Amino acid sequence: MSSYVVSRELLERNIKELKKRAGQVPIWAVIKGDGYGIGALPLAELLHGQGIDHFCVTELREAELLRANGFETESILMLREIRDRETLHCLLDQRAILTVGSLETAAIINDIAAHRSDIAQIHLKVDTGMGRYGFLPDQLDQLQQVYREMKNLAVCGIYTHFNCAFNNEELTRQEFDVFMQVVTALHTAGFETGIAHCCNSSAFLKYPEMHLDGVRLGSALLGRMSFPAGLRPVGYVQTEVEAVRLLPAGHTTGYGALWKAKQDCKIAIIPVGWYHGFQVSCKPDMSRKRDCLRAALSALKGLLKRPAAYVLIKGKKCKVIGAIGMLHCAVEVSHLDCRVGDLVELQINPLHVKGMPIVYKEL
C-alpha cells in the first residue's frame, strides 16, 4: 500500500535548472546505486528525454542495462577502476569508456584491447585526495608512460573526484589546483588529455569556475543536497493512515514510552518505520573503534537536539511522536479531521527506501 513516488515533473524541473547552470558544459549523469534509489533505467530515460546523452556508471550491469534499452550511441563512463579481465571484456563489448588510475590497470586494459584488435577509450583518473583510485599527482612519469607505451588505449578524458566539495572550500580549491597542475603538465609535455572534469553535484553548484569540459551529477538530479541549492527533492513516500486512536492524558506510545500524552489527544498510526528507511541515515562502519566513538557522540548530540520528524496528512504537517518502530510510527493529529485511509506523505532518501515499489507519476 505504501509506495515511493517520483514526480516526473520535479525531476524534469531539476534537470532543466541544472542544464541552465551548466550552460554549454555537458552533464554526465551518474546513475549508480540503481539511480540513487529511483531506478537507473527510468532515471536515464527521463534524462535522455531532456537531452542528456552522457552517463556514468559504477557497475557493468548498469552499462548493459543502458545499451540493452536503446542507449546505443550515448557515452557511458565506468567510474570504477576495473581490473578484472572478464568484466573488462564485457565493458568493451558495451563500448564503455574505462577509468585508468594506475599503470597496472592501463597495462591490463591495453593487453585486452590489443588481443581484441581494439582501441579502448579511457579517462585518466587523478587522485587529489579521495584516495580510492587514481594516479597520485606526482606520478607524472607513469601518466606519460600510458601515452608512450599503451598503443591500444585512447585517452579521451582526465578527471578527479573531490572528497570535500560539500563542506570544505579551501581543500576543494587546493585539490582543483593540484588537478589542473597535472593536466597542464601533460599538455606541456605534448600529450592530449581530452575532456577534463572534476565536479560532482556539490562542486558543480558551489564552484562554477571548476566546470571545465564536463560535470558529473548525481544527487543534484534528485534535488538532495546537504545545502540549499534551489532544487527540490523529486520524490516522497506515499501511504495511508492505518489507524486513528484517542488516547487519554498520561498514555504513552511507542517503544521505551518516550512520549506521553499531556492531555487527551488523537494520534494516527502510519505503516512506515525504520525498516522502510524512515529517519534512517547512512550507517557508520562500526568495525572501527574510532567510528563507534564518533557515532556514539553524534547519537548523543541527536538526543539532545533531535530535529522533529514530520509527515503530511492531507497536506497538513503532523509531528511524529515517540520512538519510530520497525514498521510503524505514530503522529499527533489532535488538530486534524483525520480518518483511516487518509493519504500520508513523508520524506525518505530513496537510497534508504526498502519494502515498497518505486512509482513514477506525472504530477
Site residues for ligand PLP per CB under 6 A:
30, 32, 79, 161, 200-202, 216-220
CB of 97 within 8 A of CB of 76?
yes
Angle between helices 60-68 and 85-93 (to 10 degrees): 20
**Cell 531532456, residue located:** 50
Q: How far is the CB of 93 from ligand PLP (least distance, A)?
A: 23
Beta strand pairing call for 120-125 and 98-100: parallel
Between 53 and 342, CB nearer to ligand PLP: 53
Distance CA 189, CA 327 (A): 61
Q: How far is CA 93 from the centre of its chain?
A: 26
Q: How far is the CB of 249 from ligand PLP (least distance, A)?
A: 47
Between 54 and 161, CB nearer to ligand PLP: 161
Q: Which amino acid is residue 49, in one-letter code?
A: G
Between 102 and 239, CB nearer to ligand PLP: 102
Q: How far is the CB of 313 from ligand PLP (least distance, A)?
A: 31
Q: How far is the CB of 322 from ligand PLP (least distance, A)?
A: 34
Q: How far is the CB of 350 from ligand PLP (least distance, A)?
A: 13
Between 165 and 241, CB nearer to ligand PLP: 165
Between 75 and 219, CB nearer to ligand PLP: 219
Q: How far is the CB of 328 from ligand PLP (least distance, A)?
A: 31
Distance CA 305, CA 6 (A): 31
- Using alpha carbons, select from 118, 121, 76, 112 the residue that is nearest to residue 94: 76
CA dihedral of residues 335, 337, 338, 341 (deg, nearest 10): -160
Between 124 and 217, CB nearer to ligand PLP: 217
CB of 140 within 8 A of CB of 104?
no
Q: Give the 3-state secondary structure of residue 301.
A: helix
Minimal CB distance residue for ligand PLP:
218
Q: How far is the CB of 253 from ligand PLP (least distance, A)?
A: 37
Distance CA 271, CA 330 (A): 9
Distance CA 83, CA 78 (A): 12
Beta bridge partners of 29: 55, 217
Q: Cα–Cα–Cα angle for 174, 179, 184, nearest 5°?
A: 125
Between 4 and 28, CB nearer to ligand PLP: 28
Cell of 354: 526498502
Q: Give the 3-state secondary structure of residue 360.
A: strand
Phi, then psi, of 86 in degrees rounded to 5: -60, -45
Between 105 and 202, CB nearer to ligand PLP: 202
Between 153 and 231, CB nearer to ligand PLP: 231
Q: How far is the CB of 113 from ligand PLP (least distance, A)?
A: 23
Between 220 and 272, CB nearer to ligand PLP: 220
Q: How far is the CB of 57 from ligand PLP (least distance, A)?
A: 10
Phi, then psi, of 62 in degrees rounded to 5: -70, -40
CB of 216 within 8 A of CB of 199?
yes
- Check residue 356 and report its DSSP letter: S
Q: How far is the CB of 219 from ligand PLP (least distance, A)?
A: 4
- Using alpha carbons, select from 28, 21, 72, 16 the residue that is nearest to residue 195: 28
